[in-house]
Amino acid sequence: MIKISNVTKKYGEKKALDNVSFEVDEDEIFAFIGHNGAGKTTLIKAIVGVHDFDEGKILINGKSIKEDPVACKKEIAYVPDNPELYENMKAIQFIDFICDMYEVGQERREKNIKKYAEMYDISQNLNDTIESLSHGMKQKVALVAALSHDPKVLIMDEPFVGLDPKAVFDTKEVMREMVKEGKTIFFSTHILDVAEKLCTKVAIIKKGKIIKVGSMKEVKGDKSLEKVFLELEK
Ligand code: ATP
């Protein structure tokens, strides 16, 4: 569970996040949507402890990301919008490095790496250096690394951009499987029809403020999410 309470983040005098509050529960796939520059990445980076925020509180499964960052990070997998991996490493070295960080035992590691590398069709690329991979393949390596440590909380910034259709399909399936197991999933996206079909909850951010949050049904009513979003953004 992620609990965000009254979070404000400024860049200089400008508020990128303005008193943001909402919760992401275990059994929900939660979409975070908003125009370019609305504050999505800023909030995601605050949640995962990549950067600080000025006011408010963020709890990951009851622990504060400010006061107990290591305990929080142990529960989180974060896939950024533009994964910056160690280019000189082989894909498998990077994935193993992440598994080492998360103290994943050998048996579970081998099982998970096999499962996700096969699913994303990169088994034959695991010994390639990351710099030799295409953008989408790098993204797949980041996903395999993220999923291989069985995170309790999966946070992704625009996960579907750059992935091929099969990888998009498989990622959605993995997300559905994970919520069934009681995991927490929160991701930003501009692809509103995917969000509408996949997610049970949604928050819309505009100029750093949450302008709508709730179940997908509450937020969109009888309209499409796209229509509601465009009306709110006027
Ligand atoms: P996009 O959909 O384009 O990825 P976003 O919703 O993720 O956008 P953010 O990257 O969170 O938006 O940016 C929110 C605001 O904060 C924008 O006005 C942006 O210009 C500003 N901002 C982001 N990072 C910085 C920074 N390092 N320094 C100053 N301003 C920043």
Residue 168, pLDDT score: 96
**Is pLDDT at 82 greater than 90 in this prediction?**
no
Residue ranges of domains in the chain? 2-75+152-232, 85-151
CATH architecture of the domain with range 2-75+152-232: 3-Layer(aba) Sandwich (3.40)
With a 6 Å cutoff on the Cβ, whether 38 touches ligand 1 is yes
Are the C-beta atoms of residues 142 and 83 closer than 8 Å to each other? yes
- Dihedral over Cα of 80, 199, 23, 62: its sign: negative
220 burial type by CB count under 10 A (0-12 exposed, 13-18 middle, 19+ buried): buried
Mean pLDDT of 103-130: 97
Q: What percent of the chain has pLDDT over 90?
A: 97
Residue 59, pLDDT score: 98
- Dihedral over Cα of 130, 85, 2, 16: its sign: negative
With a 6 Å cutoff on the Cβ, whether 124 touches ligand 1 is no
Per-residue pLDDT tens digits for 162-183: 999 999 999 999 999 999 999 9
Mean pLDDT of 57-70: 97
**H/E segment holding residue 201:** strand 201-206
With a 6 Å cutoff on the Cβ, whether 130 touches ligand 1 is no
Atom of ligand 1 nearest to the CA of 45: 11
Centre of ligand 1 to C-alpha 58, Å, is 19
Query: Whose alpha carbon is nearest atom 28 of ligand 1?
Result: 11
Per-residue pLDDT tens digits for 177-217: 999 999 999 999 999 999 999 999 999 999 999 999 999 99
